[in-house]
């Protein structure tokens, strides 16, 4: 079973003006598409070929760098498209908001911490909100690493992720990464994030 | 010591066949300048306040290293370009390349491959090692071969900001085009000084 590029829930220009059509098209088709193909090539004919992506990521320390890089790239972008929507923005509510308040004090404090993690990642990488099994953590990872990998410093289930590779924002924002990060809050689909939170905490 | 953005030896549109004026304006005018500014503010009141970039590269960590090395790396990168470049090395450098890589074409292919396969942000390098041999290395993010006792001769920036406006995801096209503006006169001079 080969991994498939997942269908987007919105069209390429749906996240305008925050994420432009050309960036969406190239980011999804070329970057995410290439990670998907490279992952499939890296695992073809091996014992991990039929495993779910989460299980593959749990053993990347034993696998080739191609699996770590492309497997991470495949999973991370799946999550990224999933937690954005043209009807996004605002704030979470219910159990997720309660939990954010419990671990960060307030939604605004969480937002600041997450934005700071995204802004200060040097080079390519991701900012994350992760459920560790007992609490929430906000941090960033380099390149396409994530908290599902056995090589991760902090392990847990990613609930929200922001891509800060330059390819995610350079066509529209160039060197202004902080403006991209600020605008990301307008397209977060908190319903999708809450679903991930519920799934993670009920495990 | 206040670090300064070195002047370019060509106009921002002079390399447009390979690197657009817009790319030059951002890469040199914004990114390179920001590394200079960040470095100057980070070293204030620290033991690196009067240090050379080379000292910073050898000894610093964290933000001081990142910004200091990025100032050096970008200066070294932009300095090797010319709108009227010498397209091939000659003399001792060509000989050294042939000894180390077989032929100039083999070198081009190995260096290009190093630049293409560096995952994430970073740099590909041609360096002289401790035994005087030429080798090709990769460095992530702000990495600089001086730190490993190697002497840099040429570098290619493969942070996405170096090529994304002009080539988007097509990094190999950027690398191929890069060779059109590398001035081997500059690399020859560096080789002479490295020996």
Q: Could you read off the pLDDT of B109-156 as tens digits, one per residue?
A: 999 999 999 999 999 999 999 999 999 999 999 999 999 999 999 999
In angstroms, the CA A34 to CA A46 distance is 20
Residues of B in contact with A122 (CB under 8 A): 66, 141-142
CB B127 within 8 A of CB B100: no
Tokens read off for A120: 């200060």
Nearest to B110 by CA among B93, B134, B131, B86: B134
B161 in a structural domain: yes
Please indicate, yes or no, whether residues B100 and B189 belong to a single structural domain of this protein. Answer: yes
Per-residue pLDDT band for B195 (boundaries 50, 70, 90) equals confident
| pLDDT, tens only, B160-182 | 999 999 999 999 999 999 999 99
Average pLDDT, chain A: 97
Domain that includes residue B55, residue range:
21-79
What ipTM goes with this model? 0.96
Choosing from B79, B102, B118, the residue where a domain stops is B79
| pLDDT, tens only, A129-154 | 999 999 999 999 999 999 999 999 99
> B91-101 vs B104-117: helix axis angle to the nearest 10?
70
The pLDDT value given to residue B67: 98
Total domain count for chain A? 2
Domain that includes residue A105, residue range:
94-201
Cis upstream peptide for A17 (omega within 30°): yes
Q: What is the CATH number of the domain that holds A116?
A: 3.55.40.20
Please indicate, yes or no, whether residues B66 and B113 belong to a single structural domain of this protein. Answer: no
A190 alpha-carbon distance from chain centroid: 14
CB B41 within 8 A of CB B48: no
The pLDDT value given to residue B1: 73
Instruction: Evaluate if residue A101 carries a pLDDT over 80.
Output: yes
Residue with tokens 């180390």: B100
| Contact (CB<8Å) B119/A65 | yes
Per-residue pLDDT band for A1 (boundaries 50, 70, 90) equals low
B4 in a structural domain: no
Chain A residues within 8 angstroms (CB to CB) of chain B? 26, 30-31, 34, 65, 69, 122-125, 142-144, 165-167, 170-171, 174-175
């Amino acid at each position: 079973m080969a991994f498939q590029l997942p269908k987007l829930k919105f069209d390429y220009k749906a996240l305008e003006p925050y994420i432009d059509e050309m960036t969406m098209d190239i980011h999804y088709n070329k970057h995410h598409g290439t990670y998907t193909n490279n992952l499939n090539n890296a695992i073809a004919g091996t014992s991990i070929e039929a495993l779910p992506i989460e299980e593959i990521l749990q053993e990347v320390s034993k696998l080739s760098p191609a699996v770590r890089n492309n497997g991470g790239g495949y999973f991370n972008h799946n999550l990224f498209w999933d937690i954005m929507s043209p009807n996004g923005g605002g704030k979470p509510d219910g159990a997720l908001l309660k939990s954010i308040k419990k671990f960060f004090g307030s939604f605004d404090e969480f937002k600041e911490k997450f934005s700071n993690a995204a802004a200060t990642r040097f080079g390519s990488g991701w900012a994350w909100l992760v459920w560790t099994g007992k609490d929430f953590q906000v941090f960033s990872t380099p390149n396409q690493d994530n908290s599902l990998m056995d090589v991760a410093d902090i392990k847990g289930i990613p609930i929200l992720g922001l891509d800060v590779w330059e390819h995610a924002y350079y066509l529209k924002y160039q060197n202004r990464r902080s403006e991209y990060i600020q605008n990301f809050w307008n397209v977060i689909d908190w319903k999708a994030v809450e679903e991930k939170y519920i799934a993670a905490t009920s495990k | 010591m206040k670090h300064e953005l070195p002047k370019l030896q060509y106009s921002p549109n002079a390399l447009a066949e390979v690197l657009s004026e817009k790319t030059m304006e951002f890469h040199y005018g914004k990114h390179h300048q920001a590394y200079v500014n960040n470095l100057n503010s980070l070293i204030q009141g620290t033991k690196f306040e009067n240090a050379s970039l080379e000292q910073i590269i050898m000894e610093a960590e964290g933000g001081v290293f990142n910004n200091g090395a990025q100032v050096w790396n970008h200066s070294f990168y932009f300095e090797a370009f010319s709108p009227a470049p010498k397209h091939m090395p000659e003399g001792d450098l060509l000989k050294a390349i042939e000894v180390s890589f077989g032929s100039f074409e083999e070198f081009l292919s190995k260096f290009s491959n190093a630049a293409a396969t560096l995952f994430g942000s970073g740099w590909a390098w041609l360096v002289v090692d401790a035994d005087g041999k030429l080798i090709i290395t990769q460095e992530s993010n702000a990495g600089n071969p001086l730190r490993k006792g190697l002497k840099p001769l040429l570098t290619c920036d493969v942070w996405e900001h170096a090529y994304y406006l002009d080539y988007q995801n097509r990094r190999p096209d950027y690398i191929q085009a890069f060779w059109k503006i590398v001035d081997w006169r500059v690399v020859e001079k560096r080789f002479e000084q490295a020996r």
